[in-house]
Structure 1
Amino acid sequence: MQFGLAGKTALICASTSGLGRATARALAEEGVNVVVTGRSAERAKEVAGELPGAVGVGCDLVADGGAERLLTAAREAVGDLDILVLNGPGPAPGPARATDTAGVAQAIATLVTPQEILVRGTLPAMVEKGWGRILSISSTSVQAPLPNLSLSNLGRAALAGYLKTLAAEVAAQGVTVNSLLPGRIATPRARQIDEAAAQRTGRPLDEVEAASKATIPAGRYGEPDEFGAAAAFLCSTQAAYITGTALRCDGGMVPTL
């Protein structure tokens, strides 16, 4: 299937590794001019060099003015954006009873504020052209909050609520707004989580991985390219009637409708 994206432009946040990188690769293969981003400009340029029509930009989104600087650099590189993919790490883990004001502020500063700035900065051009795609790489926690991740649950749910509201407001202007919720995908981050669990519990790594896979009906971790393909479809011309949706890419792991 041709997704009708050749010549479009896209900014993919946190795309030097993992799910962001897989999404950047899938879009670049569809002919999208992709802006790869990460804290390290050198790494962003290295990853961009592996993709057709891509450029790399270094930026710390959480830093003061980071989102604004990224928008400026992206426009200088590829012009107005047709596709915006929101992505990035969450705050430190911890139980809800340990949450404090500083932690809540950190969650919003990490998972909501820069994303809202990026959306606000890219949306007018999308509306003017009558075509745009905003996609959030989020977490299944927005549908089934995860234990010991209270601040991440809080911030991601807040962003999801904002994007769902926005989706209805701009649907008639040809702009779709969706979220893609990964389950356990075989990324370096998933490996780190399993290694940490093995160290914490004293169990062998392969045993920890097997126990994790046993909770997934598909019986395995997803491949990054599978996630990237789902992201590319949600950005496609064919997905023009899909908006305000949170799509799980989790192998059936979350036991909700």
Structure 2
Amino acid sequence: MKVELFIPCFMDQLYPDTAMNTVKVLEKAGCTVHYNPEQTCCGQPAFNSGFWDDAKEIGTKFLNDFPEESVIVTPSASCTGMVRNYYTDLFLNTMLHNKCRTIQGNIIELSDFLINILKFDYFGAELDGRAVFHDSCAGLRECHLHGEAKLLLEKVHGLELVPLKGNETCCGFGGTFAVKFDAISSAMAQQKVDNALEAGAEYIISTDASCLLHLQGYIDKNQLPIKCMHLADVLAHGWGNV
């Protein structure tokens, strides 16, 4: 299957290795991956901050960067949720309304695509250690993901996946929430990391690099013995650099 790849702007800037691992994972699953280098952002930061005119301008570019007939895969539940759910508010009764509706039906988060579309769950990945999986708010509530990533992680050699207490509770990032309410945000991150440590985890894995950025910041600040990893990095671990 030929797919278009959308890489979130913050991943492009901060986690390029995760972006490359997404390509490796998709290619190993049998996909031909096309990446449009002109792509930038889905408009979520502006939209969440109340700048809807700016979000609409960015969203218009997003819609024009991708062909209507293609499946668009992204390693981000939050960006998927933004396009699927909130572009309706931005482009209702506009010239782009029909194209928007088509692309909303075509964009899909990575784990959702691998499990529910390709039916592909084994990559030969290897990662020794114990891990918990963090279901992001966007993954649970906007993309309705329930267990796809865990099915993939169960096939990773050497990885023991254990339950995370309070798994459906937000990690505290929430985009600008972490800036506007930093004390509350940090306390929520602390709770999430403490629960992971209580489970004896060495890794926190998620589908959203934004959550992991937030949690890793708390971990690094407090020098805690645990590490955050994106699902794509785990699935490419042990073979992706061979």
Scaled by the length of structure 2, what TM-score is found?
A: 0.36
Scaled by the length of structure 1, what TM-score is found?
A: 0.34
